[in-house]
Amino acid sequence: MRLYTYFLPEESIENHKYYIVIDTLRATSTIATALSVGCESVTIVSEPEKAFELKKENTLLLGERGALKISGFDYSNSPSEILKNAAYFKNKKIILCTTNGSKSLLLANSKGITIAASLINLKAVLQYLITKKIDDIGIICSGTDGKVSLEDAFTAGRILNVLSKQDITYFNDESYIALNLANIPHTRILQYSIHAQKLKKMGLDKDLTMCFNESLFNVVPISKMNENKFKSKIDI
């Protein structure tokens, strides 16, 4: 099994059969939450203008700039906001536009089948990868504004911690580094993560609690290559 990790989407990323994209705070947590409350799909865009273009009757626009709701959008990039309004999200199509998550999700999906992973859907993603015997995976962490993010590397470590026990694995250096973060207590990660501190200062504690609630949702958001549209457990 080949398990390579990339702490930033800007790195030179090798070809892999599957890509797992992580943006623990908060984009991939938002995607998992939206599909868990019954949204039909989550389409990723990089610019708000593109989202407005795609807006249709049964569509909701979600997104942030500076972790705040983009002006004119329906909701921010907030898992707790989705949960609070779950009934309104059912069967809706979501268009998601975020700063770092959008970039890494679009990059990965231009290269291959992509899974959106986070702590919030950890177990479901691991079960899917093990059941499907997927043996060549590139884990792409989104980072924050071009800098490596602790929470994404930690989530990668949690994934590697289980997959590496499945089979002979070939790691790149970043996988080894991430693996060594896997057993650090959540509280410590939240304490030291720059982005977590920023969200805390903005009063977004509910999102921090949700995004670190491991395996809360049994959902595996997947997008076929170049579709940039995540749905739950599509057959590939």
Interface residues toward ligand MLT, by CB under 6 A: 23, 25-27, 64, 67, 77, 98-101, 142
* Shortest separation between residue 67's beta carbon and ligand MLT, angstroms: 4
* Shortest separation between residue 96's beta carbon and ligand MLT, angstroms: 9
* Shortest separation between residue 109's beta carbon and ligand MLT, angstroms: 15
Question: CA angle 70-72-78, nearest 5°?
Answer: 45
Alpha-carbon span 223 to 108, nearest angstrom: 10
Ordered DSSP codes for 63-101: EEETTEEPTT-SB-S-HHHHHHTHHHHTT-EEEEE-SSH
Residues paired with 64 in a beta bridge: 69
Residue number with CB closer to ligand MLT (80 or 142): 142
Residue number with CB closer to ligand MLT (21 or 163): 21
In 3D space, the residue among 136, 139, 134 whose CA is nearest the CA of residue 24 turns out to be: 139
Place of tokens 């080949």: 2
Residue number with CB closer to ligand MLT (76 or 175): 76
Place of tokens 């093990």: 130
* Shortest separation between residue 99's beta carbon and ligand MLT, angstroms: 3
Residue number with CB closer to ligand MLT (27 or 181): 27
Residue/partner pairs of 67-74 with CB below 8 Å, 24 or more apart: 67/198, 67/199, 67/202, 67/204, 68/202, 70/97, 72/48, 73/48, 73/97
* Shortest separation between residue 182's beta carbon and ligand MLT, angstroms: 22
Residue number with CB closer to ligand MLT (99 or 109): 99
